[in-house]
Structure 1
Amino acid sequence: MQNEYSRGSNVTIHEKLFGFRCRCPFRMYISNKPNKYGIKTPMMCDSGTNYMMNAMQYMDIGKPTNSNGLPQGQYYLTDLSRPIHGTNRNVTCDNWLTSIPAAKSRTAC
């Protein structure tokens, strides 16, 4: 499905909290969100059409995420942007995903 969509030149990577109040081991509480409880999902979207191109489930249930030695934000940035590596697209993300090592890394975007 990802190969069929013609991506624009600008993408954004951000996390979204899908409101969810039932019991589940990876439900999160974030006090400054409109829905306080939910499932956090980092995703990559086309900035022009708001089409979601890639997403992952955020797992923070007391166990460290297998991030191959990378900081968690850089891991999600690298993994979500993998389909567009080497395509010279502009990637915009917030401070949770941004770091100096991620900016210097050629594998991040």
Structure 2
Amino acid sequence: MEAGRALGRRGPGFADVEPSSYPVDASGPRCERVYARHSRWLTVGQWRSIGVVPYGSSLSDQEVATLLEPDGPNGTAYLLTGNYRAILDYNCSNFYALSVGLLANAITRR
């Protein structure tokens, strides 16, 4: 598996990373169809060990994250943390949660 390199910036909820193919784990506790699009949950340290490194991130190696490729393999990809799950609890849509997270990142960068 080719090592990934990070793209973009880390925000309050997630960090975008280079796309790749990772096994999907559809056993999310809520929103089964939404979580079916996410990879399995790994610690950030485990993601780093397989070459996925959050860009400009201060995520600890113990924090748990999942990978989402909203446009499919070879598109933009995002590492999602617990903040993303909180957004999904409010509105169970990857498009909604991703929009909220990207807006939060843009506000944070200002």
Relative contact order, higher structure (CA 8 A, sep 6+): 2
Question: Which of these two proteins has the greater Rg computed from alpha carbons?
Answer: 1
Name whichever structure is richer in strand by fraction: 1
**What is the TM-score when the length of structure 1 is the normalising length?**
0.27
TM-score normalised by the chain length of structure 2: 0.27
